[in-house]
Copies of this chain bind each other. A is one copy, B any other.
Amino acid sequence: MTRLFNDPADFTDQMIDGLVAAHPERLVRVSGGVARRSLDEEAHVSVVIGGGSGHYPAFAGLVGPGLADAAVMGNIFASPSINQVFSVAKSVDQGRGILLSYGNYAGDVLNFSEAQERLRAEGIDCRTVAVADDIFSAPADALDQRRGIAGDLTVFKVAGAAAAAGSDLDEVERLAVKTNARTRSMGVAFSGCTLPGADAPLFSVPEGMMAIGLGIHGEPGLDTVPMPTADALAELFVERLLAEVPDGLDPRGVRVVPILNGLGSVKYEELFVVFGRVSALLTEAGLELVDPQVGEFCTSFDMAGASLTLLWLDDELERHWLAPADSPAFRRGAVSPSATRVRQAVEADSASVQIPEASSASRVNATRVIAALDAVADALAENAESLGALDSVAGDGDHGIGMKRGSAAAARAARGAQEGGAGAGTTLTTAAEAWSDAAGGTSGALWRVILASLGEAVGDFDPVGPRVLADGFLAARQAVAAAGGAEIGDKTLVDALVPFVETFDREVRTGASSAAAWRAAAEAASAAADATADLLPRKGRARSHGEHAMGSPDPGAISLAMIAEVTRPPVRIAG
Please list the residues of chain A having a beta carbon within 8 angstroms of any beta carbon in chain B: 2-6, 11, 14-19, 21-25, 53-54, 56-57, 61, 190, 196, 227, 229-231, 233, 260, 264-277, 279-280, 289, 291-295, 299, 301-302, 304, 306, 329, 331-334
Number of this chain's copies in the assembly equals: 2
- 17 residue pairs from A and B, CB less than 8 Å apart: A3-B270, A5-B273, A6-B229, A6-B273, A11-B269, A15-B269, A18-B277, A19-B272, A21-B275, A22-B292, A25-B291, A53-B269, A264-B265, A265-B265, A295-B329, A302-B302, A334-B334
Q: Are B22 and A267 in contact (CB under 8 A)?
A: no
In the complex with contacts A17-B276, A334-B334, A270-B2 CB distance below 8 A = yes
Is there an interface contact between B334 and A331, defined as CB atoms closer than 8 Å? no
Residues of B with C-beta under 8 A to A16: 272
The interface residues of chain B lying within 8 Å CB-to-CB of A23 are 292
A301 and B269 contacting across the interface, CB-CB below 8 Å: yes
* Chain B hits for A264, CB < 8 A: 265, 267
Q: Given A190-B3, A267-B302, A331-B331, A292–B56 Cβ distance below 8 Å?
A: no
Question: Could you list 12 further interchain pairs (A-B, Cβ under 8 angstroms) beyond the known A3-B266, A24-B292, A331-B332?
Answer: A3-B190, A4-B229, A4-B274, A5-B230, A5-B270, A5-B273, A15-B273, A18-B294, A22-B272, A22-B293, A56-B272, A264-B265
A267 and B21 contacting across the interface, CB-CB below 8 Å:
no
CA of A267 to CA of B11, assembled, Å: 13
A291 to B, closest residue via Cβ: B25
The one of B11, B266, B295 in contact with A273, judged by C-beta atoms closer than 8 angstroms, is: B11
Report Cα–Cα, A99/B272, bound state, in Å. 28
Give every chain B residue within 8 A of A19 (Cβ-Cβ): 272, 294
* Contact call A279/B18, Cβ cutoff below 8 A: yes
Cα(A519)–Cα(B544), bound, Å: 74
Minimum CB–CB distance for A130 against chain B, Å: 23
Smallest CB separation, A228 vs chain B (Å):
9
Is B21 touching A273 in the complex (CB atoms < 8 A)?
A: no
Query: Closest 4 A-B residue pairs measured CB to CB?
Result: A334-B334, A18-B276, A18-B272, A4-B270
**Distance between Cα atoms of A56 and B53 in the complex (Å):** 25
Q: Which residue of B lies closest to A233 (CB)?
A: B4
B18 x A273 contact (CB < 8 A): yes
Residues of B within 8 A of A279 (CB): 18, 21-22
Closest residue of B by beta carbon distance from A274: B4
Point out the residues of chain B lying under 8 angstroms from A14, CB to CB.
230, 272-273, 276
How far does the Cβ of A197 sit from chain B's closest Cβ, in whole Å?
A: 11
Cα of A306 to Cα of B4 in the assembled complex, Å:
10
A2–B18 Cα distance when bound, in Å, is 29
Instruction: Tell me which residues across on chain B come within 8 A of A275, comparing CB atoms.
Output: 18, 21-22
For A301, the chain B residues whose CB sits under 8 A away are 267, 269-270
Nearest residue (CB) in B for A300 is B267
Q: Which of B2, B6, B22, B329 contacts A231 (CB 8 A)?
A: B6
Q: Which residue of B lies closest to A293 (CB)?
A: B22
In the bound complex, CA of A19 to CA of B273 (Å): 8
Which residues does chain B contribute within 8 Å of A231, judged by CB atoms?
6
User: Chain B contacts of A5 at CB under 8 A?
Assistant: 229-230, 270, 273
CB contacts (< 8 Å) of A260 on chain B: these are 22
In the complex, residue of chain B having the shortest beta-carbon distance to the beta carbon of A2:
B270
Taken together as a complex, chains A and B put the C-alpha atoms of A57 and B293 apart, in Å, by: 14
Question: Are B22 and A294 in contact (CB-based, < 8 A)?
Answer: yes
- Which residue of B has the minimal Cβ distance to A53? B269
Task: Report yes or no: A21 in contact with B276, Cβ–Cβ below 8 A.
Answer: yes
Rounded to whole Å, the gap between the CB of A166 and the closest CB of chain B is 21
* Complex Cα spacing A495 to B231, Å: 44
| Residues of B close to A24: CB separation below 8 A | 289, 292
- A53 CA to B279 CA, complexed, in Å: 21
Task: State in angstroms the CA–CA spacing of A273 and B6 once bound together.
Answer: 8
CB-CB under 8 A from A329, the residues of chain B are 295
Question: Does B56 contact A6, Cβ atoms closer than 8 Å?
Answer: no
Please give the distance in Å from A276's CB to the nearest CB on chain B: 3
Minimum C-beta distance from A506 to chain B (A): 49
